[in-house]
Chain A
Amino acid sequence: MEKMIEFKNVGYIYEKHEGAETVAIDGVSFSVRKGEFIGIIGHNGSGKSTLSKLINAILFPTSGDIWVAGINTKDHSRIWDIRQSAGMVFQNPDNQLVATMVEEEVAFGPENLGIDPKEIRKRVDEALKTVEMGEYKNKKPHQLSGGQKQRIAIAGILAMKPKCIILDEPTAMLDPAGRKEVIETIKRLNREENITILHITHYMDEVVDADRIIVMDEGKIAMEGTPREVLCQVEKLKDLRLDVPQITELAYSLQKEEIDFGCGVLTVEEMVDRLCQ
């Protein structure tokens, strides 16, 4: 299986003022296969965002190595190849949109890659169609809702034909409908376009369909496994300042009342099935 991302003993130390140091990433090794959907969770300050910036070559490991699509991120001559392979979407949609029109926004990335204008036109239309925002191409970004802005940010990355998209809490500022739009969009990109997804979030219900969940704590990987394996461990997650989806929490509290479900009920449908067996 082709590896999209590989971390080998990666450490990252932030230098603070007066020589004080903070270890943000501490000896992390893992790899992500092409086409995988990975959920990354962890409390504030656990190292999630540092991890994403390392992948995108915004930061460079202070020890160890990272390969993105086979390229070592320390290879400065190929930094644009890395950023084109692995695009990033950030938390606040207003901080990442720069153009005055939606289609210009989406064209910004490919323009910087020096792509032929005809090809850009084609890519912009395709990308907007993929995120279901085609009819908004002549709108101004500030006229859009939060969920729509995030989908435009995603389209801007799609127009660069990435292999992988890293999303750092893309839904933190969105209303329920906006969250749903963004989550459905990234799931579809993963399923239909085989784009590798790394989704960082505090909303546990957004990662129940992931292929794998990585739980970060103190710069290390604290837990790793399928959503069922990870979300089963309710107490351990709570110790890590996290929680589980409401349904999983409910199943867990019923378990305590000796109503046995087995482990890790993740969705409403599963719960209905198990209660009505």
Chain B
Amino acid sequence: MSIEIKNLSHIYSQGSPFESIALDDISAVIDKGSFIGLIGHTGSGKSTFIQHLNVLLKPTMGQIFIDGIDINDKSTKVKSIRQKVGLVFQYPEHQLFEETVEKDVAFGPENLGLGDAEIKKRVKDALTMVGLDYDKIKDKSPFELSGGQMRRVAIAGVLAMKPSILILDEPTAGLDPRGRDDILNVISELHRREKITVILVSHSMEDIAKHVEKIMVMFDGKIKIFDTPQNVFSQVDLLENIGLAVPQVTYLMRKLKEIDPLIDQNIYTVQQAKEEIIRMMRRRKDA
């Protein structure tokens, strides 16, 4: 399911003294089945942008097509778009409300008017996908779970809608390192196995570098860069100027290059850095 954004602008409180341009004429194509990282400082327009993708906000100008369908066209049913495009907000566990985990995850599919057997299957599948044991957890209250578990239940609630596009707004904020890795691994696995398109909003350059295929960099309501991690993280000065950073290992490789010009500085994961340093050590040994 490809997403095509054409000259999209969004102006908050247009015509009032508080008017502010949140999105400024952006255009992009997000390929079906891709894994996109969306980065940008607070206030750069990320949240406004993703809220357009499932019609929580409507464009002031411009259009968005999902699989060729104009999602804001009068003949398009908003409900069908929201089923296709699953949006996981920041701190989604704050939205849990049901008495049991099973009821909470079932809430979405029930609203789709599905049969009981199908709902049950979807709930079970969704909980399994996020790495929870359905039989053990289904009757528990969501509020007696740990923070990481609550967040997974909340994500399962979105997955039970079987979206073909999954958008997550900082899904790991406030989680401990293991909880963070668990959630990101679940998302990567879903992307690989179910071929769903994923848009991951994150402030952690390390996490983005480790998981995504392409990075969209937003600044001042515009898309500043939309390219591979390699091509994005090579622009250190630009990223720093707009309040971002590169992974710690990228800084290391740039320093090493000043000393050893043969070093490849376009490196952004620990694994790549390790291999490059081993090559450097071998060169030294041979010299």
CB proximity of B36 to chain A, nearest CB, Å: 18
Residues from chain B with Cβ under 8 Å of A87 in the complex? none
User: In the complex, what distance in Å separates the CA atom of A45 from the CA atom of B277?
Assistant: 38
One of B178, B243, B271 near A175 (C-beta < 8 A): B243
Q: Within 8 Å CB of B274, what residues of A?
A: 250, 253-254, 257
Collect the chain B residues with CB atoms within 8 Å of residue A243's CB. 177-178, 181
Determine the distance from Cα of A242 to Cα of B177 in the docked complex, in whole angstroms.
Answer: 5
CA A156 – CA B181 in complex, angstroms?
35
Give the nearest-CB partner of A171 in chain B: B203
**Is A1's CB within 8 Å of the partner chain B?**
no
8 A Cβ contacts from B168-218 to A: 170, 173-181, 203, 205-206
Interface-centre pick from A46, A177, A180, A257 (highest chain B CB count, 10 A) = A177
* Residues of chain A in range 161-192 having any CB-CB distance to chain B below 8 Å: 169, 172-180
In chain A, positions 144-174 with a C-beta closer than 8 Å to chain B are: 145-147, 169, 172-174
Against A, the Cβ 8 Å flags (1 = close, 0 = not) of B144-188 are: 001110000000000000000000001001111111110000000
B176 touching A242 by the CB < 8 A rule?
yes
Binds B, one of A69-77, A112-120, A121-129, A268-276: A268-276
Contacts of A178 in B (CB 8 A): 41-42, 243
Query: By the criterion CB–CB under 8 Å, are A245 and B248 in contact?
Result: yes
**A205 contacts B by Cβ under 8 Å:** yes
In the bound complex, how far is the Cα of B198 from the Cα of A102, in angstroms? 39
B174 touches A169 (CB 8 A): yes
**What A residues does B175 contact at CB under 8 A?**
44, 202
Q: Is B270 an interface residue (CB 8 A)?
A: yes
Q: Which of B61-69, B122-130, B252-260 contacts A (4 or more CB under 8 A)?
A: B252-260
Q: Are A246 and B176 in contact (CB under 8 A)?
A: no
Instruction: Determine the residue in chain A with the shortest Cβ distance to B178.
Output: A241
- Contact between A177 and B146, CB atoms less than 8 A apart: no
With both beta carbons as reference points, the residue of chain B lying nearest to A148 in the complex is identified as B42
Q: Which of A145, A202, A205, A250 contacts B41 (CB 8 A)?
A: A145
Residue of A at shortest CB range from B146?
A: A45
Give Cα A272–Cα B174 distance, bound, in whole angstroms. Answer: 31
The interface bits of chain B over 264-283 (1 if a CB of A lies within 8 angstroms of the residue's CB, else 0) are: 00000011011001101100
Known: A178-B42, A250-B270. A275 touches B146 (CB 8 A): no
Inter-subunit contact B146/A257 (CB<8 Å): no
- Structural contact, A275 and B248, CB atoms closer than 8 A: no
Interface membership of A204, Cβ < 8 A: yes
In the complex, which range does the number of interface residues on chain B fall in? Answer: 35 or more
Q: Which residues of B contact A176 (CB under 8 A)?
A: 41, 203, 205, 243-245
Residue of A nearest to B144 (CB): A16
Using Cβ atoms and an 8 Å threshold, which residues of chain A touch B252? 247, 250, 268, 271-272
Q: How large is the interface on A (under 10, 10 to 19, 20 to 34, 35 or more residues)?
A: 35 or more
Decide if A45 touches B206 in the complex (CB within 8 Å).
no
- Given the known interface contacts A43-B178, A178-B41, the answer about A272 and B259 at a Cβ–Cβ threshold of 8 Å is yes
- CB of A172 within 8 A of CB of B41, answer no
Task: Say how far B285's CB is from chain A's closest CB, in angstroms.
Answer: 11
By a CB distance below 8 angstroms, the chain B residues around A91 are 174
Tell me if A263 is interfacial: C-beta within 8 Å of chain B: no
Whole-angstrom distance between the Cβ of A45 and the nearest chain B Cβ: 5
A247 and B249 in contact, given A175-B243, A176-B205, A241-B179 (Cβ under 8 angstroms): yes
Cβ of A249 under 8 Å from chain B? yes
Bound: A272/B265 CA distance, A:
14
Does B45 sit within 8 A of A, measured CB to CB?
no
User: Taking CB as reference atom, which chain A residue is nearest B280?
Assistant: A275
Identify which of A146, A173, A246 contacts B206 (C-beta below 8 A).
A246
A64 to chain B: closest CB distance in Å? 26
Q: Report yes or no: B248 in contact with A247, Cβ–Cβ below 8 A.
A: yes
Cβ of A145: which chain B residues have Cβ within 8 Å of it?
41-43
| A222 on interface, CB distance cutoff 8 Å | no
Q: Say yes or no: B245 contacts A249, CB within 8 Å.
A: no
In the complex, the 10 A-B pairs of residues with the closest C-beta atoms, listed nearest first: A241-B178, A177-B243, A43-B176, A176-B245, A243-B177, A246-B248, A175-B41, A44-B147, A146-B42, A172-B174
- Residues of B in contact with A (beta carbons under 8 Å apart): 40-43, 90, 146-148, 170, 173-181, 203, 205-206, 243-245, 247-249, 251-252, 255-256, 259, 270-271, 273-274, 277-278, 280-281
Given contacts A180-B245, A242-B178, A250-B273, 14 further A-B contacts (CB under 8 A): A43-B179, A145-B41, A175-B41, A175-B244, A176-B243, A176-B244, A177-B244, A178-B243, A202-B180, A242-B176, A245-B248, A249-B270, A257-B274, A257-B278
Q: List 8 A-B contacts (CB under 8 A).
A: A42-B176, A45-B147, A202-B175, A242-B178, A246-B206, A246-B249, A246-B270, A272-B259
Residues of A within 8 A of B (CB): 42-46, 91, 145-147, 169, 172-180, 202, 204-205, 238, 241-243, 245-247, 249-250, 253-254, 257, 259, 268-269, 271-272, 275-276
